[in-house]
């Protein structure tokens, strides 16, 4: 297929995949999409055969070649090897394990123990190759509430032609998440705490993107500002891979027959992960239902039930913080595809969202969406109960985000003959304190004390051989020197970026 990309809000000005990855967002504020997704379905038999001999890397090669076809097969091959060979703590990269009457797809075996590694180990390699034939160097700016910042730092560390600045809210992350970031190695990285909450840091980053004089000064030094946000197709494409790979693993294990349908239940925030499953469906994977699982911030559950998207509601801080989101940016791409590519409708909805915080889709469009999607939500107590049930009945230690998906999966009917895959998005050891509380383990001490308590609890039950201990990189944080101590006012961030651009690029 020839995958040219254009904005969800207009067909004018098509760009190549490489340019779309460098720019991140289209000029009119829309998201880049391609109209080729369902034109040439992937050959599933060939995919399973390739996977049998070549593992996850072979699946990644096939899927990424189809989606990003202005990269040569050799370029894709090099990116795939750099991103996934020996960087994940499982030979399967994203292993599928049987739990109860379902399967859990473990996406958290990467270097920072969250599923964002799958995309953020790949995005920097794609960006750096896209920039090769330009004179530009890329400066990535990211505000984070925890997982994205560390995954981006690890992915971009020492990548040629790219530098990265990460900002996190002072006191707004878990102890482990903060230590993961402030101990980051690499000469092209910078990390700072910002006084205020996540939204303050995020707004300040947006202001820097809109700071024309600053951008001009950077452009005169051939520096392009970019972001590692999940609206970038360079983040979305690598996530399509594990849906196909889960199918191939299940066929190879003999758990399903070739051509069988699958359900996927996905813990959702920004709608990136589950949208990748929708892309896989359009590209030929036999997906029965995509189940959108939300926490108490259930704006998507309501949208998929009523057709009304309304962000005017209380915001809840939950034990699954990476899903505490009221504006699910990637939903815009679903509206584009399911409306048959109606850019005007998308623009109308997004303008209404900007102006009033609300839009409503026509009933026919909602009906089409509901053919592929089911939904549900879990509040914190339900997630805690799921953690306890998974541990006590199945010896499976789940993190709070995965627990939300497990709870929702149990609420949605399993159709006979359709295998159910629940996506696990973080290591339980990243959220030790909340997992300990859910298991009613009393721990005196810091997050590392909780980590040891969880390891002891797992050892006692004869834990699954795949996850007997805390990931080494997390345990080692207790004794890793801190590199970044700076705490900034939000108003000082632009000056920090300019100063660091000289040091790290
Ligand atoms: C980011 C994240 C999610 C949500 O993924 P989206 O692509 O934003 O829907 C879920 N779980 C964890 C652990 C995450 O880090």
- Of 361, 130, 366, the closest CA to residue 226 belongs to 130
Torsions phi, psi of 5, nearest 5?
Answer: -120, 145
Q: Mind giving me the DSSP string for 41-93?
A: ---HHHHHHHHHHHHHHHHHHHHHHHHSTTS-HHHHHHHHHHHHTTTSSSTTS
Regarding the beta carbon of 117 and ligand 1, being less than 6 Å apart is answered: no
Instruction: Find the 214 Cα to ligand 1 centroid distance in Å.
Output: 32
Regarding the beta carbon of 401 and ligand 1, being less than 6 Å apart is answered: yes
Regarding the beta carbon of 116 and ligand 1, being less than 6 Å apart is answered: yes
- Of 227, 226, 222, 217, the closest CA to residue 495 belongs to 217
Q: What are the angstrom distances between the C-alpha of 41 and each of 101, 290, 372?
A: 30, 19, 17
Count of beta carbons in the 10 Å neighbourhood of residue 53? 7
> Which of 146, 147, 334 for mutating ligand 1's site (highest number of atoms within 8 Å of CB)?
147
Distance CA 295, CA 384 (A): 12
Torsions phi, psi of 142, nearest 5?
Answer: -140, 130
Q: Mind giving me the DSSP string for 239-296?
A: HHHHHHHHHHHHHHTTSS-TT--EEEEEE-SSSHHHHHHHHHHHTT--EEEEEEEE-S
Q: What is the pLDDT along the chain (505 residues), one digit of tens a residue?
A: 567 999 999 998 899 999 999 888 888 889 999 999 988 899 999 999 999 999 999 999 999 999 998 999 999 999 999 999 999 999 999 999 999 999 999 999 999 999 999 999 999 999 999 988 888 899 999 988 888 999 999 999 999 889 999 999 998 888 899 999 999 999 999 999 999 887 788 888 888 988 999 999 999 999 999 888 888 999 999 999 999 999 999 999 999 999 999 999 999 998 999 999 999 999 999 999 999 999 999 999 999 999 999 999 998 989 998 898 888 889 999 999 999 999 999 999 999 998 999 999 999 999 999 999 999 999 999 999 999 999 999 999 999 999 999 999 999 999 999 999 999 999 999 999 999 999 999 999 999 999 999 999 988 876 555 556 899 999 999 999 999 999 999 999 999 999 999 999 8
Regarding the beta carbon of 163 and ligand 1, being less than 6 Å apart is answered: no
Report the DSSP pairing between strands 137-143 and 102-106: unpaired
| Burial class of 456 by CB neighbour count within 10 A (0 to 12, 13 to 18, 19+) | exposed
Non-local CB neighbours of 475 within 8 Å, separated by 6+ positions: 448, 451, 469
Q: Mind giving me the DSSP string for 114-130?
A: BTHHHHHTTHHHHHHHH
Distance CA 90, CA 119 (A): 16
Instruction: Find the 323 Cα to ligand 1 centroid distance in Å.
Output: 6
Instruction: Find the 216 Cα to ligand 1 centroid distance in Å.
Output: 34
Active site residue 116: yes
**Taking the model in full, what pTM does it have?**
0.94
Identify whether the C-beta of residue 32 lies closer than 8 Å to the C-beta of residue 48. no
Q: Which of 18, 39, 116, 469 is catalytic?
A: 116
Distance CA 456, CA 462 (A): 10
Which residue's C-alpha comes closest to atom 14 of ligand 1? 322
**Can you give the pLDDT at residue 293?**
98
Torsions phi, psi of 173, nearest 5?
Answer: -120, 170
Regarding the beta carbon of 400 and ligand 1, being less than 6 Å apart is answered: no
Count of beta carbons in the 10 Å neighbourhood of residue 14? 14
Regarding the beta carbon of 181 and ligand 1, being less than 6 Å apart is answered: no
Q: Tokens for 324, please give them.
A: 């505490």
Regarding the beta carbon of 426 and ligand 1, being less than 6 Å apart is answered: yes
Instruction: Find the 269 Cα to ligand 1 centroid distance in Å.
Output: 6
């Amino acid at each position: 297929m020839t995958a040219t990309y254009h904005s969800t809000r207009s067909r004018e000005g098509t760009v190549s995949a490489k340019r779309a990855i460098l720019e991140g967002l289209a000029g009119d504020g829309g998201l880049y999409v391609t109209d080729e997704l369902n034109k040439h379905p992937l050959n599933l038999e060939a995919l399973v055969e390739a996977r049998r001999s070549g593992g996850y890397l072979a699946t990644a090669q096939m899927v990424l070649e189809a989606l990003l076809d202005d990269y040569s097969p050799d370029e894709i091959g090099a990116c795939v090897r750099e991103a996934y060979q020996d960087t994940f703590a499982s030979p399967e990269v994203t292993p599928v394990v049987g739990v109860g009457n379902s399967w859990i797809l473990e996406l958290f075996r990467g270097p920072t123990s969250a599923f964002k590694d799958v995309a953020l180990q790949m995005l920097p390699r794609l960006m750096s190759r896209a920039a090769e034939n330009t004179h530009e160097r890329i400066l990535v700016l990211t505000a984070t509430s925890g997982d994205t910042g560390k995954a981006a730092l690890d992915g971009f560390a020492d990548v040629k032609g790219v530098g990265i600045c990460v900002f996190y809210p002072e006191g707004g992350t878990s102890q482990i998440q903060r230590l993961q970031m402030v101990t980051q190695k690499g000469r092209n990285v910078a990390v700072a705490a910002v006084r205020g909450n996540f939204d303050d840091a995020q707004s300040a980053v947006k202001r820097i993107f809109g700071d024309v004089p600053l951008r001009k000064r950077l452009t005169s030094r051939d520096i392009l500002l970019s972001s590692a946000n999940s609206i970038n197709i360079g983040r979305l494409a690598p996530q399509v891979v594990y849906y196909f790979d889960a199918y191939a693993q299940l066929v190879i294990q003999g758990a399903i027959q070739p051509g069988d349908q699958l359900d996927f239940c996905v813990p959702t925030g920004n709608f990136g992960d589950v949208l990748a499953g929708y892309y896989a469906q359009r590209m030929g994977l036999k997906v029965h239902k995509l189940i959108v699982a939300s926490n108490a911030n259930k704006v998507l559950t309501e949208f998929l039930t009523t057709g009304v998207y309304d962000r005017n509601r209380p915001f809840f801080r939950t034990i699954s913080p990476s899903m505490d989101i009221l504006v699910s940016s990637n939903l815009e791409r679903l509206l584009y595809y399911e409306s048959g590519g109606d850019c005007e409708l998308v623009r109308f909805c997004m303008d209404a969202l900007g102006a009033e915080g609300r839009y409503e889709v026509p009933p026919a469009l909602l009906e089409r969406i509901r053919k592929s999607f089911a939904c549900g939500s879990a509040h914190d107590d339900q997630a805690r109960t799921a953690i306890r049930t998974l541990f006590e009945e199945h010896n499976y230690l789940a993190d709070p985000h995965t627990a939300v998906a497990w709870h929702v999966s149990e609420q949605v009917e399993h159709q006979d003959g359709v295998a159910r895959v629940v996506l696990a998005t973080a290591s339980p050891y990243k959220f030790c304190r909340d997992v300990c509380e859910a298991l009613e383990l009393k721990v005196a001490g810091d997050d590392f004390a909780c980590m040891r308590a969880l390891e002891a609890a797992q050892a006692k039950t004869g834990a699954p051989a795949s996850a007997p201990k805390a990931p080494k990189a997390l345990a080692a944080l207790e004794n890793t020197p801190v590199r970044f101590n700076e705490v900034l006012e939000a108003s000082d961030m632009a000056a920090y970026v300019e100063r660091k651009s000289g040091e790290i690029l």
